[in-house]
Structure 1
Amino acid sequence: MTPSGSRRGSASQPLSLKARAVALLAQREHSAMELRRKLLRIARDRQAALIEVAAGEGNPSSNPGPGGGRSEAEDPDNSEAQAVNLVEEVDAVLGWLKANGYLDESRFVESRIHARSRRFGQRRIEQELAQHGLALDAEQRSALAAGELDRACELLRRKFGEGAPVDASAEAKRLRFLMGRGFGYELARKAVRRVAAGPDA
C-alpha cells in the first residue's frame, strides 16, 4: 500500500466508528459510559480483524523478526500503544457525538424514566442510572415520587387483581413483588391497603 493509501485508510477508520456510533444512537438513547464500552469493543474487534488479515497476507509487521523474534503484534509495548490509541479514538468520537447533539445524557435519563416508570419504582430507576454514572435531578425525583403510589397500585392490580389478599402470606407476596420492583416498604404497604380497599377507596 502506498503512503497516501495508508493515510486514507487511517482517516477512514474514525468515520467508520462514528457511523457505528450514530447507528447505535438511532436505535435508542445511550449513556456515554454504555456507548463508550460498546465502541471500545467494536474498535478492538476491528483491530483484531486487521491484524489477522495482515498476518494472512504476510505483512512484515506481523511476522517474526530476524532470529525468530516476536512480531510487532506480539510486542507488549506495541500492544499497549495500540490500546491507548483505541481509547483515544473512541473518546474523540464521543466528544464529536456530544458536540453535535447525537449523544445527550439528559435525553438518556428521560428515556430511561419513560421506559421504566410504569413497571418499576424510583429506587430501581435510580439504581439503573447509577450503573451508567448518572442520577435523577431534583425535579425528576419529585415527579416520580408524586406518582409512585398510583404506579404501585396499578402494578398490583395488573398482577393480582382487585381486592384484599386472602391471608398474611398473600399480603407478604404482594409486598415482596413491589419491593422487588424498587418500591419502598412503607409505600408498598400503602399500595397493598389501597388496592385491598377496592377501586372506590
Structure 2
Amino acid sequence: MAIGPRMPWEQVHQRNCIDSSLPALWLHQGDQNRSHRRHQLMPPNVSMPPSSEAETKILEEMAEDSETTSLSVADEIGFTGVHHVAVLCENLERSLDFYIGVLGLQVNHDRPADKLPYRGSWLWVGEGMIHLMELPNPDPKTGRPEHGGRDRHACISISDITPLQEALDKAGIPYTMSKSGRPALFTRDPDANTWEFVQLP
C-alpha cells in the first residue's frame, strides 16, 4: 500500500509544544483507490509518529473500522423519519391562527397539551407533527434574512404549491420563492420561524 507524504514531524512536535491540549495532527493519503485524505489524530502523549509502514497500516485500519462501525450503528438504530419539529411561540392563539387558520393543519388530540409545564399544541403534518410551545424565544425576530432559504428552517413536502400561495396571499403573509427554480417557497410564522414548502410529485 502506497502511503503519501506526511506532515514533517518537527511541525507536529512544535504544535504540541505550543498547546499540549491539542492532539498532534499528521496527514497521510491512502492508496490510489481513495480520492480523499484521511486525518489521523494522535493523542498528545505520543512522542513519535509511526516508525513503520505496519504501524501506519494499523492506524489506517482503525479509521476504517470506525467508519464501518458508524454505518452499522445507524443500521441497528433504524432511523425511520422525523417524528416532530418543536417550534417556540410567544402567543399560542396567534400561532394557531397561522397554522390552523391559514395552513389548515389539524390538531392531534391524542397528544394531551396539559402534560407539560407550558402551553402548547400538537399539529399533524402528514405522518409527522409540529409541536407548538409557548415559551420565551431566544432568537431575534428582526435582522433575519429576507429570504428564508438563507435562514435555518424546516422543510415540509406538499403535493400542490398553488393553493398554499393563494392562502398566504389571501392572509397577506409574505413569502419568497426558491432561488433554485424548484416549486418551493419560504415563509415565516408570527414568531419569525421559517418554513420551506416544496412541491413533490
TM-score category of the 2 structures, normalised to the smaller one: under 0.3
TM-score by length of 1: 0.27
TM-score by length of 2: 0.27
| Higher RCO (Cα < 8 Å, 6 or more apart) | 1
Q: Structure 1 or 2: larger helix share?
A: 1
